[in-house]
Amino acid sequence: MEFQEILYAVENGVATITLNRPKSLNALTMTLLRECDKAFKTAGKDPAVRCIVLTGMGRAFSAGADLKDTTERTANLSDALRAGYNPLITTMTTLEKPIIGAINGVAAGAGCGIALACDMRIASEKASFIQAFSGIGLIPDSGSTWFLPRMVGYARAFEMMVTAEPISAETAQQWGMINHLVPHAQLTEVTLAWANRLAAGPTRALGLTKRALNKAMRVPLTDALEYEAQLQDIAARTADFPEGVAAFLQKRKPNFKGF
């Protein structure tokens, strides 16, 4: 698949999407956002893809909105959010396959929001997270106001947002923003090990788990319980369920097919 501002590759059940504007620290243009959205949707529909990795080319994950790009920028920034940023965040969070963010460097502004929209984050020791918006007189977008307080609590989210100061990968780990912190040279290796592990999992059940978790963040317990019951019926109808049970009884590793 041909893209201008991202790279897309599929290998051994893992699709890797690489933000590819390293000279501007992978700053986000409408083209990049739309290509990224298309790549996620393509990976979502491709039965050969069972896990997706999102990372950045060069020394940054993403520096957020491209502040030099005036294409398509209007007086209403909400137009840009509705046309580019919000659809991407929605696609990522509703796509029923695991997404791992391999955070290779700074994730600022909307780049931080996109990192937070991944299901897991594995960060290099060179990574940092900046809610950069207030530094340029804007408010947090791309889901940051939703994701961040749920991960780190209101007070820390508020402080990050009003100061626009960077949070190191080490602090991000202490605060629960990332799953794993790794030496920079090992980021690809550790991320691929995780991606291969998830790609060998019961993909349908993992996707439904993501759907249930996202729903449970918004509804009362009774509703979450009922939703779990409904989704469990779907999971139980997959071939991976009897395979998982058979593998347990036969004391062997399950050979999940993802459907």
| Residue keyed to tokens 């460097």 | 105
Tell me how far apart the alpha carbons of residues 71 and 34 are, in angstroms, rounded to a whole number. Answer: 14
Q: Which residue is nearest to ligand T3D (CB)?
A: 109
| Binding of residue 135 to ligand T3D (CB under 6 A) | yes
Dihedral angle, C-alpha 76, 79, 80, 81, nearest 10 °? 110
- For ligand T3D, the binding residue among 7, 67, 224, 247 (CB under 6 A) is 67
Question: In the chain, how many H helices and how many E strands?
Answer: 11, 10
Q: Which stretch binds ligand T3D (CB under 6 A): 66-74, 145-153, 200-208, 231-239?
A: 66-74
Residue 148 one-letter amino acid:
L
- For ligand T3D, the binding residue among 13, 44, 56, 64 (CB under 6 A) is 64
| Binding of residue 187 to ligand T3D (CB under 6 A) | no
Nearest alpha carbon to residue 37 among 21, 17, 10, 12: 17
Nearer to ligand T3D, 24 or 232 (CB): 24
Nearest alpha carbon to residue 172 among 107, 117, 118: 107
Residues in region 27-56 near ligand T3D by CB under 6 A: 27
What does the binding site for ligand T3D look like in residue numbers (CB under 6 A)?
24-25, 27, 63-68, 73, 77, 80, 106, 108-110, 130, 132-133, 135-136, 138, 141
